[in-house]
Amino acid sequence: MTRPPDTSLRVVALGGGHGLFATLSALRQITESVTAVVTVADDGGSSGRLRGELGILPPGDLRMALAALASHDAEHARWSTVFQHRLSGDGALAGHAVGNLLLAGLI
């Protein structure tokens, strides 16, 4: 049985990576008022490449937090999936998450 989220409960979560993603995903089931303070210390994969090539803060942990905080209705869940999608192939964009590229473009 699913109950509607509590609108009076306010939660702040601090962290990064998969742990924060899991925490935020769970909290969204309990309350709609969730604030994330995201650490940006990632240096691997797509984030590490963007950090090295563009000299920006690594966007991966922020991308994951945004995906976790997206509403679970069909339209917003689709955006979460797009943000998390990794490009395949052998080219320069291979392995990059679409959300990382979008965030890098906005910085």
pLDDT tens digits, residue range 7-41?
789 999 999 999 999 999 999 989 989 999 999 88
Q: Which of 61, 63, 75, 52 is nearest to 106 (CA)?
A: 63
4 in a structural domain? no
Cα–Cα dist 14/5, whole Å: 21
Q: What is the mean pLDDT of the chain?
A: 90
Element (H, E) at 105: helix 98-106
Q: Which of 3 and 64 is assigned the larger pLDDT?
A: 64
Q: Is residue 23 within a helix (H) or strand (E), and if so which, with residue range?
A: helix 17-30
Give the pLDDT confidence score for residue 24 in this predicted structure: 96
In a domain, 49, yes or no: yes
Does residue 88 surpass a pLDDT of 70? yes
48: containing domain = 11-106
Per-residue pLDDT for 43 more than 80? no
Residue 1 lies in a domain: no
State the pTM of this model: 0.86
Domain contains 79: yes
In a domain? residue 6: no
* Total domains present in the chain: 1
